[in-house]
Amino acid sequence: MIKTVYVNIPSYIEDSNYRYKMPKPQLKIEGRGNGIKTNIMNLHEIAKALNCHDQYPLKYLGFEFGSQTSYKFKNDNDVTCIINGAFQDDQIRKQLDKFIEKYILCQKCRYPEMYMKIKGGKIIYGQCDSCGHVSDLDNAHRLASYILKNPPGNQSIKSGQEEVQMINSEGQTGNKEDKQKKKKVLAAEVGLDSELLEAFLVQLRDTYNRLVVNDKIDNDVADMMLTQDIKKFNLDRHLKDRVCYLIFQSMFDENPTKAFERNYELLTTYFNDLDPQLASCHIILNIQYLMKKRNIDDKYFTTVLKGFYDYSYIDEQYLLKWFENTDEWKNESKEDFLFNEQLDNHYRQLSEPMINWMKSQAGQEEEYYEEEEAEGEQPDVQQ
Ligand SMILES: [Zn+2]
């Protein structure tokens, strides 16, 4: 076994406590004469650390060295990345750092927190998840045209979709048992760390941003396309909490309440399809996680919670169950992969004024409806 050695991203940063690290490239020279080539044995792991396709750094190295590359992906543990010619650690490391500077690091804060995106099908740009900075990337490099043809999200998604199609296609090959086995494997793969989930997340985010960036597409079309993206993933019911998570991750940012109106239809379609109780549970946990992940000030928690409540995405009775920390809530929430007891208690405390307000409103609303009914009109009851 070769022990994995980690270096900083990029490797010339000398701080040993730096939090962004990637595996040091492991090279193996294979063949000889004209057929000599360099196998970058752990490029797949490196690309994972860089949060990009294996092919991006591989092609970059190929272009820089003027060499052919070859790439084979069988599964997560069996990926082959080869460059023709014999290259030394130093050469690979230097070029990999250049790739990182151009396509991975935020141009402002220099952290490798940038999401690569494409606008108008022509320009590659990046948005930083750490500082929010947006800037164009190196569109003149030969890699740029490769990226445009193979946009972020697409390749790994392809393998994910193929798998889903395989499961959905009836009968031609394999028997039922095989298919069931495959379905189980796929379900198991969709964990938080799974590449498939990550790829789906990237795709959703890309789709969403593409639609937002491109003003020509109207909201209805945008919502429809996003819905299709979600449907394509074909998750079974047990994985619905993951879809909820993906929706949150892709639609809600530092200002979650803004996303309601724009995505009203999609959100409603999705949440209506879930058991109201289950949906409420997922939503509450996702709000907590979003607040934490996006560093949203605690004082906005009730605003966000109320937003979801106002749009009827959270069931009122369930919200009270959550607030009272009933056994029902405890049993259900701990099944969800986002549940964190400490966070849960923290936000529960913060929500007290809002819950009190809600309780006082509930009484008033009843009176209001009674009056309306007395006048012979249908009350505008929430769905
Ligand atoms: Zn930044």
**Which pLDDT does position 197 carry in this prediction?**
55
Cα–Cα distance measured from residue 104 to residue 121, given in angstroms and rounded to the nearest whole number: 19
On whether the CB atoms of residues 355 and 323 are closer than 8 A, the answer is: yes
Distance from the alpha carbon of residue 346 to the mean position of ligand 1, in angstroms:
29
CA of 126 to the centre of ligand 1 (A): 10
* Closest C-alpha to 337, from 257, 252, 248: 248
| pLDDT tens digits along 3-48 | 789 999 999 998 888 889 999 999 999 998 888 999 999 999 999 9
Q: Write the CA distances from 19 to 6, 88, 111, 253, 313, integer angstroms.
A: 11, 26, 10, 23, 37
Kindly report the CA angle at 71 between 92 and 100, in degrees rounded to 5? 40
Find tokens 């995106």 and name the residue: 117
Domains of the chain, each with CATH number or no CATH? 6-149 (3.30.30.170), 154-374 (1.25.40.180)
Rounded distance from Cα 135 to ligand 1 centre (Å): 10
Confidence of residue 382 (pLDDT cuts 50, 70, 90): very low
pLDDT at residue number 340: 84
Q: Is the pLDDT of residue 171 over 70?
A: no
Q: Which residues, in sequence order, are CB contacts of 373 under 8 Å at separation 6+?
A: 379
Burial class (CB in 10 A: 0-12, 13-18, 19+), 67: middle
Output the pLDDT for position 67: 92
356, pLDDT greater than 80: yes
How many angstroms does the Cα of residue 315 sit away from the middle of ligand 1?
38
Segment 197-218 mean pLDDT:
59
pLDDT digits (tens, 9 = 90+) for 239-285: 556 667 777 776 777 778 777 776 676 677 667 767 788 888 888 98
pLDDT score of 138:
93
Distance 134 CA to ligand 1 centre (A): 8
131 CA to middle of ligand 1, Å? 4
pLDDT reading at 184 higher than 90: no
Separation of CA 133 and ligand 1 centre (Å): 5
Whether the predicted pLDDT of 222 surpasses 50: yes
